[in-house]
Structure 1
């Protein structure tokens, strides 16, 4: 059975170690992509997860990769191999899925863009684990057991690291990051909708900076 390569694991580990906070970014207006992502980077965020929750995601990845080369730019909410190929062609440096299928896990083994697969259960984790995956997104974190679940996962899987996402906010991020098997935390609080609608980019920068400061 083909196993995940050291190259892929090293790349995902580099992404997770680059920033303790990973913003979940949905682009509703194409012209917002670069200034929004620039505002996050100005606030100290080094990893950008641009989701495919809107039709502008793939194009935004391509644009932001060129405009902000100092950041890690990846694709989130990838749910099919067709989408995986699209974001890879757009230059995504990593891919995050909300859940797992055997087909996506196997496709990612030889993909240029490494995968952070989403899991909510031990069975899903074991599916990825059997192929060599040791880094996972835990989603939706809060409704799937939150911190108690992550503590329970550590017993049978002490070598697995998570990036929990879903229901986490600025006030709870620090508690999640205190867990030994959590490398980073994802969240949409870093991209408040009202500030984006008003194009108040300085507000986004301040939210990012304040969120990082709260972790110190």
Structure 2
């Protein structure tokens, strides 16, 4: 567990921004991934919210060298097995029941379990997790919540997701207990539906620039 948590921390820190994507077709998955990669974001969270998600994950791992893909919206042991079999580099959950936490603790890939309250994070800590997803970040307090967690839970690091935009991304990423931020602002629904991959690519490049600006400050 300690080694896998160290790998999770390294992965999140290297990513800086984790685009959260939901795909409807394999062709859409290719186009989105290519736009993100060309914009400088090589690590993404592909949510298991559509019937093609697992196939898309496996396809991108086969076809796109250098891409790092996490399976998101992992809800149960079946999702864990299917994601790992498809080649997922890491797993992300929106929340974590005791049963799911136990299954994640046995997974042989880095995991980023989700939580929303101090009690939930304490429970995750008891399972050995040190890198967690704060979700839905803005709805549960955003920056104030992260600052509040920093005192009593000094050994935990977070990837806040939910309500993060280009406008506040740097503020979240600047928090000492934040390794990475998750978001989908670079994947505007209108751009996706119009196939405007240049806009996606430009927004991804902007997100990469935000990370570089915070890290180099």
Per the shorter chain, which TM-score range? Answer: over 0.9
1:1-216 mapped onto 2 (5 Å cutoff): 5-215=1-211, 216=213
- Maintained 8 Å contact 2:2/2:128: no
| Cα offset, 1:135, TM superposition | 0.3
Cα deviation, residue 7, structure 1: 2.1
What is the Cα deviation at residue 110 of structure 1? 2.2
Any idea what SS the aligned residue of 2:49 has? coil
Unaligned residue ranges in structure 1 (runs of 5+) = none
Q: Deviation string for 1:61-104 (max 9, x for gaps)? A: 10111122312111001111111111111110100000001112
SS of the residue 2:44 aligns to:
strand
Distance 1:14 1:71, change over 3 A: farther
Aligned counterparts of 1:20 and 1:113: Cα–Cα separation in 2: 19
* TM-score normalised by structure 2 residue count: 0.94
Q: Which moved more, 1:160-169 or 1:6-15?
A: 6-15
Specify which structure has the higher proportion of helix: 2
Supply the RMSD in Å over aligned alpha carbons.
1.1
Q: What displacement does 1:208 show?
A: 0.5
Contact 2:96/2:113 (8 A) holds in 1 = yes
Equivalent residue pairs, number: 212
> Aligned equivalents of 1:15 and 1:57: distance in 2?
21
1:136 to partner: Cα distance: 0.3
After TM superposition, the runs of 4+ consecutive aligned structure 1 residues lying more than 4 A away are: none
Cα distance in 2 for residues equivalent to 1:144 and 1:189: 19
Checking the alignment, whether the CA contact within 8 Å between 1:24 and 1:190 is kept in structure 2 is: no
Give the conservation status (yes or no) of the 8 Å contact 2:158–2:178. yes
Q: Tell me the distance in 2 between the aligned counterparts of 1:108 and 1:83.
A: 11
